[in-house]
Amino acid sequence: MVTTAGRAPQRSPRRASISDVAQEAGVSLGTVSNVLNRPDRVSPTTRGKVLAAIEHLSFVPNGSARQLRAGTITTVGAILLDIANPFFTEVARGIEDRLAQADHTLMLASSDEDPEREARYLRLFEEHGVLGMLVTPASTDLEPLLELSRRGVGVVLLDRTSPAEELSSVAVDDVAGAAMAVEHLLSLGHRRIAFINGPQSIAQCVDRRAGMVRALEAAGLDPDEAMVEITVSSLNAEGGEAGVTELLAAGTAPSALFCVNDLTALGAMRALRSHGLAIPADMAVVGYDDVNFASMLMTPLTSVRQPTRQLGEVAADLLLKAAGPGMAAPQRIQFQPELVVRASSGGAH
């Protein structure tokens, strides 16, 4: 802290409390509380004094505390893998839209695919007394989420099918989606396909790998020979670039590339071009998610489309129903993906 000699360091003004308002207006704490929560119980003259004090002190009521006292919590927490990823941005918009219909608000956080970071947000949201949480798990270990559920906190898994009966979930069939992508490449004549995948601690990476293996085996191919798998640490464009760099350095010769999501596909396409390779003439590329930029790239990206906004809307709806009257039983909802074919995939050379 920088100070001036002979002067005390300046400090930020303290936030006004309800006690400050009561003192300023010359009334009791109970009267201020009534003005905030039950104004009809206070005379117009006294109410005017309290409102004037509130304005003079720039007092902001503690909405969370008031909701707790009234038993009307209206805040929902959501922890997504990476809110910078356009897929999760759209999912979050779906959550927000559904919560707005119920006059609820959203607290949003990104785990950055880090289980420890996720655990910190779980604790923080619980301490804030949220109505419930929507979580895209950063790990296959669901015990922390199950513990929350046992303590009475509503939890819905988002973009992952729940293996536990106690937890609701909303997801897309990623095994089927990946199989669809690889079947498309096989139909074009590709018989050696690279796969840029992410950490196996993330369920989506596990499922999309399983879908690729299933498609190769169904075509009578040995996955050990037909699949060239590159695992990257981050599911973003930098990860895609690193994956292609590793793939080309290994000297393998796949004619097509399947990426675990569209952000890795974006980075992969950038790296292919930087190495002088044409898409799809030298290597076909397929992504996963069909985010909003997929159709806008120099070479529009073939991708597996997920109903992103609908995922968020339905997950929020499940949480609201579980927390409402009657407390609906846990549900597992699974959407089917759709392959959108564009210019980035072509026949084998």
Ordered by where they begin, the domains of the chain are 18-69 (1.10.260.40), 73-172+308-335 (3.40.50.2300), 174-307+339-345 (3.40.50.2300)
CB 335 within 8 A of CB 172: yes
* pLDDT tens, the chain, 349 aa long: 333 334 443 444 566 788 888 999 999 888 887 888 778 888 999 999 999 998 888 776 655 555 544 445 688 999 999 999 999 999 999 999 999 999 999 999 999 989 999 999 999 998 888 889 999 999 889 999 999 888 888 999 999 999 888 899 999 999 999 999 999 999 999 999 999 999 998 989 999 999 999 999 999 999 999 999 999 999 999 999 999 999 999 887 799 999 999 999 999 999 999 999 999 999 999 999 999 999 999 999 999 999 999 999 999 999 998 876 656 788 999 999 999 999 999 766 5
What does DSSP say about strands 338-340 and 302-305: parallel, antiparallel, or unpaired? Answer: antiparallel
Q: What is the 3-state secondary structure (H, E, C) of 226-275?
A: HEEEEECCCCCHHHHHHHHHHHHHCCCCCCEEEECCHHHHHHHHHHHHHC
Query: What is the pTM assigned to this prediction?
Result: 0.76
